[in-house]
Structure 1
């Protein structure tokens, strides 16, 4: 099976944790398929896109360029499925061909965890919560910049979290 060395989406390198590239044979035709385990940040960035310009470098030195459609795959880990229709699957003779009737399929989630992915790229999310505080603390909070408050809360939570786990 061909091994993916690197992937660029719209000219930007993305970190790929695991991948599988293959030709998928169905009764409706052939598609070039690229399944990727990526970070949650990458999924969030590209999940609403219809088409992306993809550059795939394989370990054997081949470079594939294609405009591909995007599907976000449900599962335990953040995954993208990129695919494009093929006129001639013979152009991709060096890739494994998977038939829609094949019972076996590669599990690219095996051997990696969400914690390992988040060590490389941790997503940020907005959160809102209500507190009841003395007025002087409320006034102080209102006078702080958002970036300062973000750092303050991150530091507090990580320090407090460690104490709870110990």
Structure 2
């Protein structure tokens, strides 16, 4: 089985935690499939896209470039499933061929946890809080910059989560 060395999406390198590249054989066609475990940040960046320009460098030095369709996989670890139809699977020597009748597909989630992924790239999310505070504290909060308030809240939460 050939393994993936690196992946670029629209010319930008993305960090991959694990991956599988293979050919899916159905009764109607052959499809080149690339499954990659990535960070939540990467999934959020591309999840609304239908097609992306993908460049895959394989461990043996070959480079596969293609416009691929994107399917995000719900549940489990953050991952992208990229695929495109191909005419001749022989052009992709060394790639495993998985048919629709196979009971197992490559499992790329084994040995990786969400905590491992978040150590590399932690996503940020906006939060709105409703508080009931004395007016002098409200006035002080209103006079602060968002960046400073974010730092204060982050520090406070980190000290309580330890």
- What's the Cα RMSD here? 0.8
The match for 1:56 is 56
Q: Secondary structure at the match of 2:21?
A: strand
Give the SS at the match of 1:136.
helix
How far the C-alpha of 1:18 sits from its partner, in A, is 0.5
**TM-score (normalised: structure 2):** 0.98
Q: How many residues align?
A: 162
Aligned to 1:72: 72
Aligned to 1:83: 83
The Cα offsets for residues 54-100 of structure 1, whole Å up to 9 and x where unpaired, read as 01011111111010000001231001100001011111122111111
1:27 aligns with 2:36: no
State the secondary structure of the residue aligned to 1:82.
strand
When normalised by structure 1's length, the TM-score is 0.95
Alpha-carbon distance in 1 for matches of 2:143, 2:102? 62
- 2:81 & 2:105 partners in 1: Cα distance? 14
CA distance in 1, matches of 2:85, 2:29: 8
Structure 1 segments, 4+ long, off by >2 Å, are none
How many angstroms apart in 2 are the aligned matches of 1:29 and 1:134?
A: 67
What's the offset of the Cα at 1:23?
A: 0.5
- Paired with 1:39 and 1:5, the residues of 2 have a C-alpha distance of 17
CA distance in 2, matches of 1:84, 1:98: 15
Q: What secondary structure sits across from 1:41 in the alignment? A: helix
